[in-house]
Amino acid sequence: MGLLSDPVRRRALARLVLRLNAPLCVLSYVAGIAWFLALAFPPLTQRTYMSENAMGSTMVEEQFAGGERARSFARDFAAHRRKSGALPVAWLERTMRSVGLEVYTQSFSRKLPFPDETHERYMVSGTNVYGILRAPRAASTESLVLTVPCGPESTNSQAVGLALALAAHFRGQIYWAKDIIFLVTEHDLLGSEAWLEAYHDVNVTGMQSSPLQGRAGAIQAAVALELSSDVVTSLDVAVGGLNGQLPNLDLLNLFQTFCQKGGLLCTLQGKLQPQDWTSADGPLQGVQTLLLMALQQASGHPHGAHGLFLRYRVEALTLRGVNSFRQYKYDLVAVGKALEGMFRKLNHLLERLHQSFFFYLLPALSRFVSIGLYMPAAGFLLLVLGLKALELWMQLHEAGVGPEEAGGTPGSSPPLPAAQRVGLASLVAPLLISQAVGLALYVLPVLGQHVAAQHFPVAEAEAVVLTLLAVYAAGLALPHSTHWVLSTQAPDRSWMALKLVALIYLALQLACITLTNFSLGFLLAATMVPGAALTKPSGPRPLCAALLVLTSPAATLLGGLFLWRQLQEAPLSLAEGWRLFLAVLAQGVLAHHTYGALLFPLLALGLFPCWLLFWNVLFWKR
Amino acid sequence: MAAAALLSLLVLLLLGPGVWGQTEPPRDSLREELVITPLPSGDVAATFQFRTRWDSELQREEVSHYRLFPKALGQLISKYSLRELHLSLTQGFWRTRYWGTPFLQAPSGAELWAWFQDTVTDVDKSWKELSNVLSGIFCASLNFIDSTNTVTPSASFKPLGLANGTDHSFLRYAVLPREVVCTENLTPWKKLLPCSSKAGLSVLLKADRLFHTSYHSQAVHIRPVCRDARCASISWELRQTLSVVFDAFVTGQGKQDWSLFRMFSRTLTEPCPLASESRVYVDVTNYSQDNETLEVYPAPLTTYQDVVLGTRKTYAVYDLLDTAVINSSRSLNLQLKWKRPPGNGGWEVGSRSPHRLQRVQLVGKTHSPASSPREAPPTPFLYAQRYVSGYGLHNGELSTLLYNTHPYRAFPVLLLDTVPWYLRLYVHTLTITSKGKENKPSYIHYQPAQDRMQPHLLEMLIQLPASSVTKVSIQFERALLKWTEYTPDPNHGFYVSPSVLSALVPSEVAAQPVDWEESPLFNTLFPASDSSSYFVRLYTEPLLVSLPTPDFSMPYNVICLTCTVVAVCYGSFYNLLTRTFQIEEPSKGGLARRLANLIRRARGVPPL
C-alpha cells in the first residue's frame, strides 16, 4: 500500500493503467471467458465424493419388490383421473389410508395476475393430498418428503403408483427415524408452492389455501419424482431450483451412488456421462453440459417441483424418468430400489445436509467445479469494468492537466473543483429517468393489461408481453428525452461522469448477482461488459449502437434461448425462437408473481436501467 | 421380683414376633395391572402399572428395613424431603388425534417434576442433587437438567397426592426433549419391581419387543396418599407405569387381531407371588358391540364397567390370582380373534359392513368406536398440534393449534410453554385467535428468559370455544450462540420442549364416585374432580429449530484469513482514504540553518 501513498509511484502506476488500459481490458475479458470454458477440463473439475459421514459408509440393502403393485396403483390412478378429469382426491385418500398413512388434504386457489397461455390456466384451484408415514419411536421432529407433482399436461400416474407402492413397502419397515411425507400436488408447481407455504405457515405469493392439519417437523430433504411410463431407459436428475439455488452436493452424490449401485443409466441435463476424461472428448462434452446447466441456473426458473423446496432450506432434487428408443429398459422396481436406498440413507442423517458444497457447477454427474475455482472467471470479467472505471476516473481528475505537465510536475494538485461539480449535477436526470423507465417496465405490463386489452384487439397475456416490449423499446428513446432537462455545459466531462457511475453501478450489480447465482452473473457479464466498456459518444456510433442493442438484457435472453435449444440438439428456427421468446417473457413475469422468482425484477429494476445509462452515454449530445 | 421381671421378658421374647405379626397389618402391598386398549386407529396400547403402597412415614422415621418399596427411591424421599416425584422416559409421541386420550401421556424424551416439602431451604440445590442421583439410578442424562431448562410453573402442575399447601416455589419442572430412551433405561426401571421380571405381569417386559413399538413410555410416580378413609396418616405410593403402543401394521401384518404372544413374544404363566392383586384388563367396549366378528379369547370370567375418561367402558377382567384363569392351560395367552375367517384381509371386513359405517357416522366426533382404517378415526374432544412457522435463520414463529371438537361445550385449558433462552420471544406478538376472533386469556404468567440462566416460561388459561381451533402464536428471534455453546451436532438443530395442556374436559357420561382403593389402577392416576368432567394432561410434539451455525470445519483457517484481511487490506485502505497528501515546500529552516547560511555566505559558498 506504500505504492499508493507515495505520490510519485502512484502517478507512475496511474500512467501505466492509462496507457495499458485497452490491452489489459481485452486480456482480462479473454481470460474470463477462457477460464469459464476451461472449467470442464480435469485440473479444474474434480470427482465428486460423499462428504456426509452418515450417508457414506453404511450401505443399505434394498428390498423393494412392489413393481406389480406400483403398476396397478398407476392404472387405477390414471383411470380415476380420466373419469373425474381432476386429481382423484377421494381415491388417493382411500389408497393412502389403506397402506397405513395418516392422510390429509389441502385445497388451494390462486388467481394468476394474467392468463397463463402456455399452461392454459388463469383461475387455478386444486387440492393437494399428502400422507404421512409416522416413524415409530420418533416424535415427528424431522421428516423427508417424496413429492409427485401432477399437472394438467403431465399426468405422472406411474410416479403416483410408484410413490404409493413405496409407501406401502416403507410402512412395513421398523427402521424409520424420520417421518416420511408422500405428497401428491395438483397443478404441479402451484400446488407445491401452496403446500410449502401452508406447511411453513407463511404467505409469500398471495396464495389462498386451507391450513394444514398434519405436520411432521422440520423437513430435511425432498425428492420429486416424475415418471410417465411403466419402463424407463434412463433417469434424468434436475438440481436447479428457484433463483438458481442448488441443493447440497451430497444429495446429488447420494443419487449417483445408487445409480451406480443399481446399474441405472443416469443423465444430467439430458446428457450422458462422458467416460473418458483424459482425452479431449469427455471435457468437450462436459462443456456442453456445463453450459446447459449455466443457462438453466441463470434462468432462475425451478427445473422441477423440487426447486421450490430450496427456498425453505430443504435440500431437494427431481428425478425424471426418460423413456427413449434405447434398447435396455428398467422397470419400476429398479427406480423404486434407487429411491428406497436414497430414503434409507437420508433416514440415517443426524444433521441437515451441510457438509458438502452448496455452490457448484456440474460438467457431468460425477464431476463438479467448486466455487473457489469458478469464481475467477467472473472476477476477470468484472475486472474489465473496474479498469475502465479507473481510467475514466483518472481522466476526469486530470482532464485539465496536459499529459506532459501531469508527468512533469507531480506537486500540483490535479482535481479541479469546477470539473467535479459539472459531473454530479448532470447525472441526476439520466439516473432518475432510467430508473423510472425500469419501474414502468416492472409495473405497467401487469397493471395495464386490462386497459391494453380493452383498447387493442389482444388478449390479456398478449397485452402483458406487448406492453413489456413497448416499454422496453420506449426506453431506447430515453437519450432524446433526457436532453431536454440537461444543461449543455461541459458535455465531455458529464458523459464521462455518467459512464463512470454506470460502470460502477453495473459492476456492483453483477458482483452481487454472481455471488448468489454465478451463472446469471457470468452470462450477463459476458454479454454486457464489452458493450459497456466500448460505449462512448465519439467513434462509430451505429456500430456501437448495434453492439449495445445486441447485448441488452432482452437480446441476451433471446440469445440464451437459441443457445439452449442448440445445446439440447433441438435447434430453433427464427420464427419459433421469437414465439418462444414471447412465451418466456410471459412465463418470467408469471414466475415472479406466483413463485417469487427474482429474474424479472432484477432485469427490470436493476440491469435494464443500468444498460439504459450506457445507451444514454452513446447518444450523448456533444 | 427379679424372677418375675425375667419371666415377663422371656414371655415377651418368645411371643414377640408372633404378636408383631398379628397386631401390625401388612405394612406394604403390591398391585399389578395390565390394560390392553384397542385404539381408534387400529393400533393396540398396553399399559402396565405396578403400584407399591407402603404405610410408613418415610420422612419422620429412620426407616432401614425395606421390603417391597425400593430402597433407592425410599432413601431419596427422606434425603431430599420430597413430597412428590414424577419421572418419565419416553420414546415416540402419543398421537392423541389418532389414538384418543391417553390414561397418562408423557412428553417425548425425559420429564421430571418434583414437589419438595416446605422444610427444604434451598430448593434449587436439592433439585440439582436429586436430578443427578436419578440420573445414576435410571441411566438417563438427567444430569443435564440445570437452571436453563428448569422452570417453576405456577398453575399447570399441582400435587397429585395428598397435599396441604401448594406454594409453587417448592415445585421444579424440567423436560429434556433430546433424551433417547432405550434398554439401558428399562433395565434399572425393571429392577425396582418387587418381582423384577421373573414372575407376574413383568415377564412380558421383553426389551426387544417393547422397543419395536410406536410409542414407549416408562414412568415412576411417587406421592403420599391417605392411609385409610379417615386420612389421619399418610402412606407412600410408588407407581411404576409403562405404556407401549403396538403398530397394527408392523406387528399384526395389517390385521386387527392381536395376542399377548404376538405382541410381547411371551405369555403369562403365574402372578407375582408378592402381589396382592394381579389383573389384566382388556377394553372390550367396541368388541362387544361388534360381537359378530371379534371376540376375546379365552372368554373372560368377569367384566368391569366404569366411566373412564368421560366415556362408558367395558373391560374383560382376568385375575391371575384366580387359579381358574391360569390353570386351564398352564399359561394365559390373551388374544383377539375373528369369529369367522376374514374375507379379503382384516381391514376390509369391518369397514364394508354397512351397519358399522352407519354407526360411525352417527357417533361422529366421539371417543368410542374403533372405526375402520379406511376413514379418519373419530377425534377426541381435545388435541393439539405445534409447529415452527417461517423460514430463514433470523426470525420464526411458534404456533400451537388447540382443537376443541366438543359440539357444544366450551372449556378452559391451561397452556404451559417452556422456551429456551436462545429463542428470544417477542411477547408483544403473542396472539391467540379462535374462530377468527381474538381470544383473551383469563390468566397469564410470563417469566422472561435470562441469557444462559433461565428459559422463558409462559402459562396461560385459555377458554376454548365449542368446536373450534384456537391458534396461539408468538414470534421469536434466533440468537447467535457462542461457539462453545453449540451441541456436538449443531446442524441437527435445537429442541424446544413440548407445550403442556392441562384441562378439565367435559364427560359424555357422568362418572360415579369410586372407591379409591378398590377401583383399578388406571382409573386413579389423577385425583377425581367432579363427575361432569375429567382431567387430561396432553403434551404436544417437541420442536426442532435450527439456529445460525458457523462452519466448524476449519475455524483456525477462517480466523487467520479474517485477521489477515482486516490487518492488511482494511488498515492500509483506511489509512489511504483518510490521509490527505500535500506537497510540502521546503521551509526556510531553523535558527541553526540560518546561522550556517550566514557563515556560508561570509565564506562565499552557496547556501544550503
- The residue written with cell numbers 397461455 in the block is A117
Kindly report, residue by residue over B432-472, the tens digit of the pLDDT: 999 989 999 999 999 999 999 999 999 999 999 999 999 99
- How far is the CA of A340 from the CAs of A146, A165, A263, A311, A453, in angstroms? 11, 11, 15, 25, 52
CB contact under 8 A, B108 and A139: yes
Quote the CA–CA distance of A197 and B310 in Å, as a whole number.
38
Grade residue A117 by pLDDT with cuts at 50, 70 and 90.
Answer: confident
Look at residue A479 in the predicted model and tell me its pLDDT: 65
Residue B15 has which C-alpha cell? Answer: 411371643
Q: What pLDDT, on a 0 to 100 scale, did the predictor assign at position B245?
A: 92
Which residues from chain A sit within 8 angstroms of residue B243, using beta carbons?
Answer: none
Give me the residues paired with residue A186 across strands: A150
User: What phi-psi label fits residue A355: left (phi over 0), alpha (psi between -120 and 50 degrees) or beta?
Assistant: alpha
Class of residue B522 by CB neighbours under 10 A (exposed 0-12, middle 13-18, buried 19+): buried
Q: Nearest CB to A137: which of B91, B399, B581? A: B91
Residue A172 DSSP class = T
Which residues from B are below 8 Å from A311, CB to CB?
Answer: 391
Q: Please tell me which residue of chain A has the smallest CA distance to B93.
A: A139
Amino acid A60: pLDDT = 79
Q: Greatest CA separation found in chain B?
A: 148
Nearest-angstrom CA–CA distance, B418 and B149? 8
Beta bridge pairs of residue B411: B464
Minimum-distance CB partner of A200 among B109, B214, B390: B390
Using an 8 Å Cβ cutoff, are A528 and A506 in contact?
Answer: yes
Which H or E run includes A286? helix A281-299
**Could you tell me whether strands A266-268 and A234-238 are parallel, antiparallel, or unpaired per DSSP bridges?**
parallel
Identity of the residue in A172, A200, A413 whose CB atom sits nearest the CB atom of B250: A172
Under DSSP, the state recorded for A397 is H
Q: How far is CA B147 from CA A556, B124, B130, B150, B496, in A?
A: 61, 8, 14, 5, 15
Q: In whole angstroms, give the CA distance from residue A409 to residue A416.
A: 16
Helices (H) and strands (E) in chain B, counts: 15, 25
A2 band by pLDDT with thresholds 50, 70 and 90: low
The mean pLDDT of B494-511, rounded to a whole number, is: 88
Q: How many CB atoms lie within 10 A of CB B569?
A: 11
CB atoms within 10 A of CB B566: 10
Q: The complex's ipTM?
A: 0.87
**Average pLDDT rounded to a whole number, residues A410-424:** 46
Q: Amino acid letter at A526?
A: A
pLDDT-derived band at B118, boundaries 50, 70, 90? confident
**What pLDDT is stored for residue B586 in this prediction?**
66
> Model confidence over B154-198: pLDDT tens digits?
988 988 888 777 788 999 999 999 999 989 999 999 999 988 888
pLDDT of residue B464: 94
Q: Do B93 and A201 touch (CB under 8 A)?
A: no
pLDDT for residue A104 is more than 90: yes
Structure confidence at residue B588 as a pLDDT band (50, 70, 90)? low
Q: Which of A473-482, A534-543, B275-284, B298-307 has the lowest mean pLDDT?
A: A473-482
pLDDT (0 to 100) of residue B517: 72
- Judged by a CB distance cut-off of 8 A, whether residue B373 touches chain A is yes
Q: Which residue of A has its CA nearest to B252?
A: A172
Select from A173, A202, A215 the Cβ nearest to the Cβ of B385: A215
- Average pLDDT of the residues in B468-479: 94
Smallest CA–CA separation between B542 and chain A, in Å? 7
Lowest model confidence (mean pLDDT) among A51-65, A479-493, A500-514 = A479-493
Is residue A299 classed as helix, strand or coil in its secondary structure? helix
pLDDT(B352) > 60? no
pLDDT in tens, A543-578: 888 998 898 999 999 999 999 998 888 888 889 999
Please state, as a whole number, how many other Cβ atoms lie within 10 Å of the Cβ of residue B260: 20
Torsion of CA A161, A167, A170, A171, to 10 degrees: -140
Interchain proximity A139–B92, CB inside 8 Å: yes
CA B21 to chain centre: 41
A528, pLDDT greater than 90: yes
- Taking 90 as the threshold, does the pLDDT of residue A180 lie above it? yes
Of residues A191, A137, A199, the one with CA closest to residue B399: A199
Q: What is the dihedral angle through the alpha carbons of A223, A224, A226, A231, rounded to the nearest 10 degrees?
A: 10
Burial of A168 (C-beta count, 10 Å sphere; 0-12/13-18/19+): buried
Mean pLDDT over B27-38 rounds to 90
Backbone dihedral angles phi then psi of residue A205, each to the nearest 5 degrees: -120, 10
CB count, 10 Å around CB of A169? 19
Task: Find the closest chain A residue to B579 by CA distance.
Answer: A5
Closest C-alpha among A465, A468, A473 to residue A579 = A465
Residue B6: pLDDT above 80?
Answer: no
Separation between Cα atoms, residue A541 and residue A532, nearest integer Å: 14
Kindly calculate the radius of gyration of chain B based on its CA atoms and give it in whole angstroms: 34
Determine which of A9, A130, A137 to mutate to test the interface with B (most B C-beta atoms within 10 Å): A137
Burial A204-213 (b: 16+ CB within 10 A, else e): eeebebeebb
B178 Cβ partners below 8 Å, 6+ apart? B109, B495
Residue A402 clears pLDDT 60, i.e. is over it: no
Query: Residue B311: what pLDDT?
Result: 84
Whether the bond between B298 and the residue before it is cis, its omega within 30 degrees of 0, is yes
Q: Quickly list DSSP for B380-410.
A: PSEEEEEEEE--SSSEEEEEEEEEE--SS--
- Indicate whether B23 pLDDT > 70: no
Instruction: Give mean pLDDT, residues B263-292.
Output: 82
Chain A CB within 8 Å of residue B95 CB: yes
Task: Report, as an integer, the average pLDDT of A57-63.
Answer: 76
**Taking chain B, what is the end-to-end CA distance rounded to the nearest angstrom?**
138
pLDDT for the residue numbered B519: 79
| CB-facing half-sphere around the CA of B364: CA atoms within 13 A | 6
Grouping H, G, I as helix, E, B as strand and the rest as coil, residue A378 is helix
Strand partners, B399: B387, B473
In this predicted structure, which of A489-493, B199-203, B287-291 has the lowest mean pLDDT?
B287-291
A–B interface: beta-carbon pairs under 8 A? 111
* Res A413 pLDDT > 70: no
Q: Residue A618 has what pLDDT?
A: 86
CA angle at B85 for the pair B81 and B86, rounded to the nearest 5°:
170
pLDDT of A426 > 80? The answer is no
Average pLDDT over residues A212-231: 92
Mean pLDDT to the nearest integer, A533-549: 86
Cβ-in-10-Å burial (0-12, 13-18, 19+) of A543 comes to exposed
Q: Coil, helix or strand for B413? A: strand
In chain A, positions 76-95, which contact chain B (CB-CB < 8 Å)? 94
Instruction: List CB contacts of B344: < 8 A, sequence separation 6 or more.
Output: none
pLDDT at residue B373 greater than cutoff 50: no
SS3 of residue A171 by DSSP? helix
pTM score, two decimals? 0.88
Q: What is the mean pLDDT of residues A297-323?
A: 92
Q: Is B389 on the interface with A (CB under 8 A)?
A: yes
- What is the sign of the dihedral through the CA atoms of A278, A279, A280 and A283? negative
How far CA B65 is from CA of B28, B52, B316, in Å, comes to 12, 15, 38
Among A31-35, B253-257, B267-271, which range has the highest average pLDDT? Answer: A31-35
Q: Is B555 helix (H, G, I), strand (E, B) or coil?
A: helix
Q: Which of A239-253, A401-415, B5-19, B201-215 has the lowest mean pLDDT?
A: A401-415
Q: What share of chain B is helix, strand, coil (3-state, %, to 5)?
A: 25, 30, 40
Q: At residue B155, what are phi and psi to the nearest 5 degrees?
A: -140, -25
Phi then psi dihedrals of residue B243, to 5 deg: -120, 135
How large a percentage of chain B has pLDDT more than 90? 38
Question: pLDDT over 70 for what percent of chain A?
Answer: 92
Cα atoms in the 13 Å half-sphere on the side-chain side of B470: 30
Per the structure block, which three cell numbers stand in for A575? 420464427
Residue B221, CA atoms < 13 Å, CB-side half-sphere: 22
Phi, psi of B417 (to 5 degrees): -120, 125
Which of A336, A327, A317, A326 shows the shortest CA–CA distance to A262?
Answer: A336
